[in-house]
Amino acid sequence: MLSQLARLTVEADGRYATSEELQFLRDYIESLDSRVSTYQKIQAAEAEVLSQLEAKWAANENLFGQGNNKLNVSTCQRDLKNMIRYTATTVLSSDLDRLRESCLLWYQTIVRAYKYGHIANITYPLLNELMKQFLSAEEAALASPVLGLNQVILGKT
C-alpha cells in the first residue's frame, strides 16, 4: 500500500488522482479489520508455528548436514522468526513490493551465501501450510500471496 501511494504521488503530480487511481485505498480500508486480525493471529501463532517447523526439521536428520558442515540451526530459527514477522507486517501494510525489495532479495542473498537453499525449499512450503491452520479462510487469502512470494523467492535458491 505504501509503495502504491508513493507511485500515485509521483504519477499524479500536479493533478488530482482519478477515482480509479484511488481504488487501492478504498480496497485497503475495506480490508483493514481483516488485515489487523491476520497480523494478530500470526503474532499469536508464531511460537507454535516455529515449534512445528522445528519438529519437521528434526525429523529430517540430514537437513542441516553433519559434522563440521552442520549449519547453524539457531541462525535458521532466527531468520525464520524474522520472516514470519515480516510476513505479518506485509499482510498489515499490503505492500508486497516493499517486502520483495527491502527484505526478500537481501535474504535470498544470505540463503545463497550460506548454501541453505535446500532448507528454504522445505521450510517455506511448510510455513505456508502451517499458517492456514491458524487463519480463517479470509485471513489466509490475505496471507497467502505474502507466503507465496516468500516461498518463490527464497525456495528457488
> pLDDT tens digits, residue range 76-120?
888 899 999 999 999 999 999 999 998 999 999 988 888 888 888
Is 25 within a domain?
no
In one-letter notation, the amino acid at residue 83 is: M
Looking at the 3D structure of the chain, how many domains does it have?
1
> Which residue range(s) make up the domain with 69?
35-155
Is 82 within a domain?
yes
Nearest to 150 by CA among 95, 69, 83, 101: 83
CA dist 14 to 17, 21, 48, 103, Å? 9, 15, 50, 32
Q: What is the CATH number of the domain that holds 39?
A: 1.10.490.20
Is 27 within a domain?
no
Q: What are phi and psi of 27, to 5 degrees?
A: -60, -45
Where residue 70 falls among pLDDT bands split at 50, 70, 90?
low
Q: Does 71 or 152 have the greater pLDDT score?
A: 152
Is 17 within a domain?
no
- Give the predicted TM-score (pTM) of the model: 0.86
Question: 140: burial class by Cβ within 10 Å (0-12, 13-18, 19+)?
Answer: middle
How do the residues of the chain divide into helix, strand and coil, expressed in percent and rounded to 5? 85, 0, 15
Is 79 within a domain?
yes
* In the predicted structure, residue 28 carries a pLDDT above the cut 90: yes
Residue with cell 488485515: 35
Mean pLDDT of 39-49: 97
Q: Does 107 or 63 have the greater pLDDT score?
A: 107
Is 2 within a domain?
no
Is 21 within a domain?
no
Question: 9: burial class by Cβ within 10 Å (0-12, 13-18, 19+)?
Answer: exposed
Where residue 20 falls among pLDDT bands split at 50, 70, 90?
very high
